[in-house]
Amino acid sequence: MAQDMAQKSANTEITKVAGHTAICDGLGGALGHPRVFLALDRDTHEVICPYCSRKFVQAEHSHAA
């Protein structure tokens, strides 16, 4: 179980968003997951989708190049 979680976090896709809300549907079309609206954390300016583990970061607070 711990190994699965470590692998999942290592494979996390990071997506920059302009606002304070991210929308995720798993990018799989019919094979994705239900569309969810995720509020970014006020302190970290990020959120992780509970379905597919995609990470969303507010663009102006992004530290990725």
pLDDT tens sequence for the chain (65 residues) = 444 444 444 556 799 999 999 999 998 888 889 999 999 999 999 999 999 999 999 998 655 54
pLDDT for 62 equals: 57
**d(Cα 43, Cα 57) in Å, to the nearest integer?**
12
How far CA 63 is from CA of 14, 24, 50, in Å, comes to 11, 21, 22
CATH 2.60.260.40 is held by the domain 2-61 = yes
Give residue limits of the domains in the chain: 2-61
Nearby residues of 9 by Cβ (< 8 Å), 6 or more positions away: 53
Looking at residue 29, the DSSP 8-state letter turns out to be G
